Amino acid sequence: MDFYQVPIGFGLALSANTAAMNRYAHLSETQKQDILNKAHNVRSEEEMYTLVATLANGTM
């Protein structure tokens, strides 16, 4: 995975949520790419934090 593919908003939201960051770190490359695809389609800060929260609580 190329670090530069990570949307800045996703990186910021992820860094603010330790549980999500840890879960993301343990995903397969395919799972990470799926989440990044979703993050690229997010249109608001609130939506990004919701995406990261769902990652943290395992509902994604």
Averaged pLDDT, 1-8: 71
User: What would the DSSP string read from start to end of 1-60?
Assistant: --GGGS-HHHHHHHHT-HHHHHHHHTS-HHHHHHHHHHHHT--SHHHHHHHHHHHHTT--
What is the reported pLDDT for 5?
81
**Residue 2's pLDDT band (cuts 50, 70, 90):** low
Confidence check: pLDDT of 3 > 60:
no
What would the pLDDT profile of 19-57 be if each residue is shown by its tens digit?
Answer: 999 999 999 999 999 999 999 999 999 999 999 999 999
